Each structure stands twice: as structure tokens, then as C-alpha cells.
Amino acid sequence: MKLICSKNLLVEALGVVARAASSRATMPILECCLLQCDEQGLKVTANDLELAIQTNYIESDVIETGSAALDIKVFSDIVRGLAGPQIEITVDEKQLTSIKSGKSEFKILGMNALDFPAIPKVGKQESVKISSNQFKNMIRQTVFSVSQDNSKPVLCGQLIDIKNDDIKMVSVDGFRISMRKWVLDDSDAVVKMVVPGKSMDEISKILPSDADSVINFYYTESHVMFELETCTVVSRLLEGEFINYENMFTSEVTTMITAQRSEILESINRATLISRDAKKNPVRLNISNSVVAISCNTEMGTSHEEISVLQDGPDLEIAFNPRYLTDVFKTLDAEKITISFTSSLSPCIIRVEGSDDYKYLVLPLRLRG
């Protein structure tokens, strides 16, 4: 294999696929990237058996077609460190790879490209189309509550639930539920799939943010494939029955407040400045006479702050792990929010005022003293 390509394009491609390369693999080949070149140019791939990313063709001067598997960290470091604008890559029959630019040359030993795991095949019979920016936001607004408990693997992913032209993204970690909804254009898909949280997080980092960009994704019973403008991403799906999240948002409301998102977020952040452990030192919300008193009591001292809200229903005192609230408030786009309560021991439900497109359920902590 021999080719010449742009350094900048190769650096960009390696940065994208590196998100799917394993850094602690039991199989050394999973720490590699696969270079494949033919008459159309160069493709770069990484695959850790859960997530695979393959770039579109990089424009290259292909002198000899072929393939090579190289340690992605070593190869990336070399490519980034070279000074010239063009890079020449040559691989011989023993996988010895020469990387040249200007007066610099490196030689590293690659692995057999035939040992590199193939990307799972995903047909294009079942497909969904959505704005890249919207999908990126939906991931951001739910991924923070993906469970880290491997004893329930299906909760370590994000549910994508599509029916009646609605796409919902849901995550659950045992203490909270995050749900974000969007309306699709001309979709007749009906599907539920659970994508690993790690895969979704990495996908969100490479999705473009411009409003005109769209992605198509295709799915089978075991995998989902996302077609982006610069690359293709394939992730395995998690097996198991996801919880019936819709029933969790139907509790009876006794007290509801309407507040400014940024105001309550900043107040909670200030209240917890004296706390080193959110689990041991919850934040208290005392709702009375259209005022929320936000307080925190720790071994270091106490804090107290009041904000004005609109209150509907009786007074209530309730306590939370502050991070579970601030994670929600930080991701919301809108400024005016509603928080619904049933009792001091029941979950609260956070929404954007006048919309059911955002729903977050957060469990409280038991009040002490």
C-alpha cells in the first residue's frame, strides 16, 4: 500500500475514529485503526466491538492500493507531529509502515489488516431521518442520567422510542428519568432500541451543530447505523426490557411551582458551595407563600437563599441531591420551567412551561431533622 494525502484531513479523520478505539483492550487489534485505500481514496476505521466509526473517503493520491492496521495512538501522535502539509504512507508485505513528511520519516510495525474486526452489516430497509443538531441536543439533554450500574445492562443505554411521528429519547439511572421528545417529518417508523450511553455520547461529539445538517439512521434487531456527513457510525444495541417510563410521569400533583431556570440553578449552586458531598448534604427546598427557600446544612456551615416563584397548591418542604437537579437545569433550553410535587417523599417532575417535550423525574432524599 502506498499513498499521499493531506496531513490536516488525516488528523481530522483520526480524531473522529479514535472515539471508537479501545484503550484497554484484551485484543491488541482493537487498539488499532484500519487504513484502507483504493482508487477512490483512503478510509480510516476504528472498532471496539461495541462502537465502530468509519470515515468517508479522504481524497488521496493512491499509488498502490491495500490496507494496514496501525496502533491508533502511536500513528495519530506521529501524524500530528509532522511538519509538512502532505504525508506519504507506505506499507510493505511485512506490515512495516513508513510515514514521511518533508525531511521526517517514521517507521512502525503494523498488524495484519485481515485480523481487524469487520463492521456489522446494517441494511437500509428501516430508516429514520432527523436534524443533526436536534439529535445532538436530545442526546445532551438525556445522556447525563444513563445508569452506571452494570447489573442492569439495558439501563446503561439510552432508549430511542419512535411511533406516531414522535421520537423520544429516554434514560434512567434509578434516581431520575430524563425524557426528550421531538416530532419527525414523514416518518412511519415504529421501533424501540436501546443504544449504549457511551456510544451516544461519542456520537453527539461528532454530530455537526448546523441547523441544515441531517442524519439518517438505519437499524436491525442488534445494531444501529448512523450516516453522518463525514463518517458512518455503527453501534450494537443493548438487550433487555426497558422500564415503562411513561407510567412514571402520571403521579398526582398537589403542589406546583413555576420558576426561572437560571435563577433556581444559580441559587442551588450557591447553596452547595459549603458542601463537599452532595449525597450526605442534600439541598432543601421549602416552598411557602410563593417563595422557595433553598438551604444546605453541612459540617462546614449553613447557607440560605430565597427566590420568588409562582406557587399552586399547599406549602411543601423537600430535599434532593443537588446534582440531580442541576444536571437537568443546565441542559434545558427554555428559561421558564415548572416543577410538580406530590409529597416530600415522592419524585418531582420538571417540565418546560407549556410543553411536554421535556420531562424529568427526580427522586427526593428523606428529610432529616
For residue 304, how far is the Cα from the chain centroid? 35
Cβ contacts of 167 within 8 Å, gap of 6 or more: 128, 130, 138, 160, 161, 181, 182, 183, 184, 187
Are 257 and 229 in a shared domain? no
Of 79, 94, 115, the residue at which a domain comes to its end is 115
pLDDT of residue 101: 95
Are 265 and 238 in a shared domain? no
The answer to whether residue 120 is domain-embedded is no
Largest CA distance in the chain: 79
pLDDT at 125 over 90: no
Position of cell 429516554? 170
Q: Which three cell numbers stand for residue 107?
A: 517507521
pLDDT tens digits for 237-266? 999 999 999 888 877 899 999 999 999 999
The answer to whether residue 367 is domain-embedded is no
> Which residues are 112's β-sheet partners?
none
Instruction: Provide mean pLDDT across the span 28-55.
Output: 96
Are 131 and 80 in a shared domain? no
Are 226 and 139 in a shared domain? yes
Cβ neighbours, 10 Å, residue 33: 25
pLDDT tens digits for 307-316? 999 999 999 9
Of 200, 220, 246, the residue at which a domain comes to its end is 246
Q: Rounded CA gap, 78 and 265, in Å? A: 44
Instruction: Provide mean pLDDT across the span 136-151.
Output: 94
Q: Rounded CA gap, 156 and 162, in Å? A: 19
Q: Rounded CA gap, 360 and 348, in Å? A: 8
Q: Which three cell numbers stand for residue 20?
A: 471508537
The answer to whether residue 311 is domain-embedded is yes
Are 135 and 233 in a shared domain? yes
Q: What angle do CA 1, 232, 110 make, to 5 degrees?
A: 30
Q: Rounded CA gap, 324 and 19, in Å? A: 27
pLDDT of residue 275: 75
Question: What is the amino acid identity at position 125?
Answer: Q
The answer to whether 34 and 46 are in contact (CB under 8 A) is: yes
Neighbour-count burial for 288-314, b at 16+ CB within 10 Å, e otherwise: eeeebbbbbbeeeeebeeebebebeee
For residue 278, name the pLDDT band (cuts at 50, 70, 90): low
pLDDT at 285 over 90: yes
Are 83 and 107 in a shared domain? yes
Are 155 and 238 in a shared domain? yes
Q: Calculate the CA dihedral of residues 90, 15, 212, 234 and round it to 10 degrees.
A: 80
Look up the pTM and report it. Answer: 0.91
| Nearest partner of 241 among 141, 149, 120, 157, judged by Cα | 157
For residue 280, name the pLDDT band (cuts at 50, 70, 90): confident
Domains identified in the chain, total number? 3
Q: Rounded CA gap, 205 and 182, in Å? A: 20
Are 15 and 93 in a shared domain? yes
Instruction: Classify the C-alpha dihedral 227-231-232-233 as positive or negative.
Output: negative
pLDDT of residue 53: 98
The answer to whether residue 368 is domain-embedded is no
pLDDT of residue 369: 60
pLDDT of residue 250: 77
The answer to whether residue 216 is domain-embedded is yes
The answer to whether residue 86 is domain-embedded is yes
pLDDT of residue 279: 62
pLDDT at 9 over 80: yes
Q: Which three cell numbers stand for residue 205?
A: 461529539
pLDDT at 288 over 90: yes
Question: What is the amino acid identity at position 92?
Answer: D
The answer to whether residue 83 is domain-embedded is yes
Ranking 21-25, 305-309, 321-325 by mean pLDDT, the lowest is 21-25
The answer to whether 79 and 7 are in contact (CB under 8 A) is: yes
Of 115, 147, 167, the residue at which a domain comes to its end is 115
pLDDT of residue 251: 74
E strand or H helix that includes residue 267: helix 261-271
Instruction: Provide mean pLDDT across the span 129-147.
Output: 95
Q: What is the CATH number of the domain that holds 37?
A: 3.10.150.10
The answer to whether residue 287 is domain-embedded is yes
For residue 76, name the pLDDT band (cuts at 50, 70, 90): very high
pLDDT at 220 over 90: yes
Are 235 and 287 in a shared domain? no
The answer to whether 172 and 347 are in contact (CB under 8 A) is: no
Are 258 and 293 in a shared domain? yes
Q: Rounded CA gap, 355 and 353, in Å? A: 6
Are 202 and 153 in a shared domain? yes
> Which residues are 233's β-sheet partners?
53, 226
Are 32 and 71 in a shared domain? yes
Q: Rounded CA gap, 123 and 215, in Å? A: 16
Share of the chain above pLDDT 70, in %: 99
Instruction: Provide mean pLDDT across the span 81-96.
Output: 95
Host domain of residue 351? 251-362
pLDDT at 3 over 90: yes
pLDDT at 187 over 90: no
The answer to whether 317 and 367 are in contact (CB under 8 A) is: yes
Tell me if residue 179 falls in helix, strand or coil.
Answer: strand
